[in-house]
Amino acid sequence: MTFVFTPPTQPSVAVEDSDDRFPVRRIFCVGRNYAAHAREMGKDPDREPPFFFTKPADAVCDSGTAVSYPPLTENFHHEIELVVAVGAEAHNLSVADALSAVWGYGVGIDLTRRDLQLQARDMGRPWDWGKSFDQSAPCGPLHRGHLAALDSAKISLSVNGEVRQTSELRSLIWSVPEIVSLCSAAVVLKPGDLIFTGTPDGVSAVSPGDTLVGSVDGLQEIAISIL
């Protein structure tokens, strides 16, 4: 097969304690999956069906990346998230079987041009310009296999050493198995898909020169800086 130009490099994520890389196919994100975050965004946190949005695969970048402050925004926000890495093709999985499709987990940051997102939301338009831009999906090294304390693990993010977000995964409105099941009902999940599972409250703006460190108990942390 001959292409009209050289294909771009395959987007990928580091793997814990390995030189191997996890190839990224698609990135799904769950909106407002912590009640306190839903409230801070001015929404009702009742357990309505979750909604998903996407980011391009090449929005992913490694821990240690210096992320450029993106254009078109004056309100650039962090959102710390547990990331689920899919390792098997799956469609219409039950909640009971959902974890069978999971390859592993990581710590990610859903970077958001909040002013563009809210403008689009208020106008009834897609969120793409607010969510789907270069380097908008930093992800730490993936841990292969399951987490022993998936529900009780603490999730947190600090900016310049100050804790901005903290919660526990048990506070997810929709659990990891439920998220994977619901996503698999809408699309055929395949190896290489990543699912960002939602962020707790405390999202706030960052500026050039800031250093962000995010963690989930049992996983390698993620650290990025803003240029």
- Structural domain spans, the chain: 12-226
What sign for the dihedral angle of Cα 29, 72, 120, 117?
A: positive
How far, in Å, CA of 114 to CA of 37, rounded?
14
Strand partners, 93: none
pLDDT tens-place values along the chain, 227 residues long = 899 999 999 999 999 999 999 999 999 999 889 876 666 666 666 667 788 999 999 999 999 999 999 999 999 999 999 999 999 999 999 999 999 999 999 999 999 999 999 999 999 999 999 999 999 999 999 999 988 888 889 999 999 999 999 999 999 999 999 999 999 999 999 999 999 999 999 999 999 999 999 999 999 999 999 99
CATH architecture of 12-226: Alpha-Beta Complex (3.90)
What sign for the dihedral angle of Cα 80, 86, 92, 98?
A: negative
Two structure tokens written together for 39: 């409230």
How far, in Å, CA of 90 to CA of 97, rounded?
10
How far, in Å, CA of 198 to CA of 13, rounded?
19
How far, in Å, CA of 195 to CA of 31, rounded?
11
**Could you tell me how many residues make up the chain?**
227
Report yes or no: 11 and 24 within 8 Å, Cβ to Cβ.
yes
Q: What is the pTM of this model?
A: 0.95
